[in-house]
Amino acid sequence: MRVISGTARGKRLAILTGASIRPTPDKVRGAIFNMLFSRIGSFDGKKVLDLCSGTGAMAIEALSRGADHAWLVDNGVQSAQIIPANLRACHVEDRATFIRSDVVQALRLVELHGPFDVIFIDPPYGKDLVPALLSGLTQGNILCDDGIVCAEAADTDDVPPQVGDLVRVISRNYGITTVHMFIHPEPEI
């Protein structure tokens, strides 16, 4: 697994091991960042939150493309070792904060640093966790008014088209993964 674009382009990332681990493949990550670019433009100056970070690849890709700062949250033992190593290897550790915590509990911690322009969610598949995490994001000051949430889920997980005030604007399938993007709806005039 490598960083696709930006200042860390081509850097190899350490990966997690285990039968239940499935890092986002380069092809899917590339498609996600293409979709994000078409919606928000450059990552320059953006604040990013990466929930269920795994290897940190999504946040690192955003930092490599110019994001100002990224907060990465994961509770895994392997992630606690791999994320800091990957941040150092890509020379972006000074613009990243890793929080080893349960994601739901971490939402209150990261709210102090929000709102965020881009939020990535990639929880374990098959547990229908995306709706609960989206619901948590609708509380408080976590997502910018013009921000976007990118949620990865199993193609069999039930992800509704709207959670609270977040509305799905994109849903694309890549094998066993479906990528959903949510925004705050445009205010009616």
Residue 65 · residue 45 · CB < 8 Å: no
Categorize the per-residue pLDDT at 188 as very low, low, confident or very high, splitting at 50, 70 and 90. Answer: low
State the sign of the Cα–Cα–Cα–Cα dihedral 89, 95, 100, 102: negative
Return the CATH architecture of domain 26-183: 3-Layer(aba) Sandwich (3.40)
Beta bridge partners of 119: 49, 149
Q: What are the extents of the domains in the chain? A: 26-183
pLDDT by residue (tens digit) across 120-145? 999 988 888 899 999 999 887 899 99
Beta bridge partners of 121: 51, 151
pLDDT by residue (tens digit) across 59-102? 999 999 999 999 999 999 999 999 999 999 999 999 999 999 99
Count H helices and E strands in the chain, helices first: 5, 8
Question: First vs last Cα of the chain: how many Å apart?
Answer: 45
What does the pLDDT read at residue 10?
83
